[in-house]
Amino acid sequence: MNTKNLWRTFLALAILFTMSFLIWSGVRIYAAVDFSLGYNSYAKLAANASTVELALRHLDEAIGYVERQEYGDGTVSIFVKNQNNNVGIWRENLIGARDELRNMPEDADITARTNLLMKLREVLMDSTSSSSDVVTHPSGISVYPNNVGYFWWCVLSTLFACAAWCVVIFKQYDWC
């Protein structure tokens, strides 16, 4: 194979792996937006609800999304398995909060209702150092249970794209 054909082959590979990385980025963005619309928006509405009934309605929507996605037990972490990224614990917290809302007696006083809504907010939201709160969920949940596959897709497409582009540039300018 002559040098010109080799250069074209590596150019085609560079473009192919770059496109693979761009497709990975698009899929991750789509998954994040879908999760945000399906879970985050309802969880935030539930956390900010002014009544137990309203909180329960929004929390039911958020949990419905979690159930439709069939988030099971396991962790979204790839290397370090910590409990903050445990999907089962997160799901159990959501269901436990919903059960408490459902079991609230209708004749409960305003203090009990307010305390329950505050507790729900603590379950659903993380207070950060910034002025805004963030919805609590395991990092990377939007692509769960395929986190490992997405990780390797990103790593391999990035490495191969960089390597192929380096070969193309070196061959183009006769640096090797």
Mean of per-residue pLDDT scores for the chain: 92
Of the candidates 164, 126, 161, 171, the residue with the CA atom closest to the CA atom of residue 25? 161
- The terminus-to-terminus CA distance of the chain in angstroms comes to 17
Is pTM, for the whole model, over 0.85?
yes
pLDDT in tens, 77-89: 888 888 888 999 9
Q: Which helix (H) or strand (E) holds 51?
A: none
Phi and psi torsions of 146, nearest 5°? -100, 25
User: What is the average per-residue pLDDT within 132-136?
Assistant: 86
Residue 20 buriedness (CB in 10 A; 0-12 / 13-18 / 19+): middle
What is d(CA 83, CA 94) in angstroms, rounded to the nearest whole number?
A: 15
135 in Cβ contact with 40 (< 8 Å): yes
> Do the beta carbons of residue 149 and residue 6 sit within 8 Å?
no
Question: Of 3 and 21, which is predicted with more confidence?
Answer: 21
* DSSP three-state, residue 136: coil
pLDDT tens readout for residues 23-48: 999 999 999 999 999 999 999 999 99
Q: What is the pLDDT of residues 155-172, one digit of tens each?
A: 999 999 999 999 998 887
Strand-pair category, 125-127 with 133-135: antiparallel
Instruction: Give residue 171's pLDDT.
Output: 82
